[in-house]
Amino acid sequence: MVALPGGAAVIGRLRERIRFERPVIGDDGAGGGPLGWAPIAETPEVFAAVTATTGSEPVAADQRQAQVMWQVTIRARDDLSAEWRIVWRGQPLDILGILPEPRRAYLTLLARSGAGQ
């Protein structure tokens, strides 16, 4: 098994339930519309280990916007897309990167919450 920070085995740390959502374009009658989100069709919810890695408060449009970077570890799956987002405890997290572990049993997702959401 792969170890997470603190030395605990991954399988024992997958205690948080997360949901994957994909972007969808609404129909405004003119061939487009606002971007929305919908749960993915198959296994939208999985167990994960969710850890905050860094936080910051950059200024955008003369306002501070808190951002938190997250590391989310899940069992490996081959249908994952960086265009999707994660919803954890009702909070959307943008997927920034997908990192497979050497034995391909797990994936580590790098994600961001806060600014731009």
Cα–Cα distance between 84 and 37 in angstroms, integer? 9
Spatial contact of 25 and 33, defined as CB atoms under 8 Å apart = yes
53's tokens: 């890695």
User: Does residue 88 have a pLDDT over 90?
Assistant: yes
Residues 10-57: pLDDT tens digits? 667 899 999 999 998 877 677 666 688 999 988 889 999 999 998 766
pLDDT band for position 96 (50/70/90)?
A: very high
Q: Which fold has domain 10-113?
A: Thrombin, subunit H (2.40.10)
Cα–Cα distance between 99 and 117 in angstroms, integer? 23
63: CB partners within 8 A, 6+ apart: none
Give me the pLDDT at residue 57, please: 62
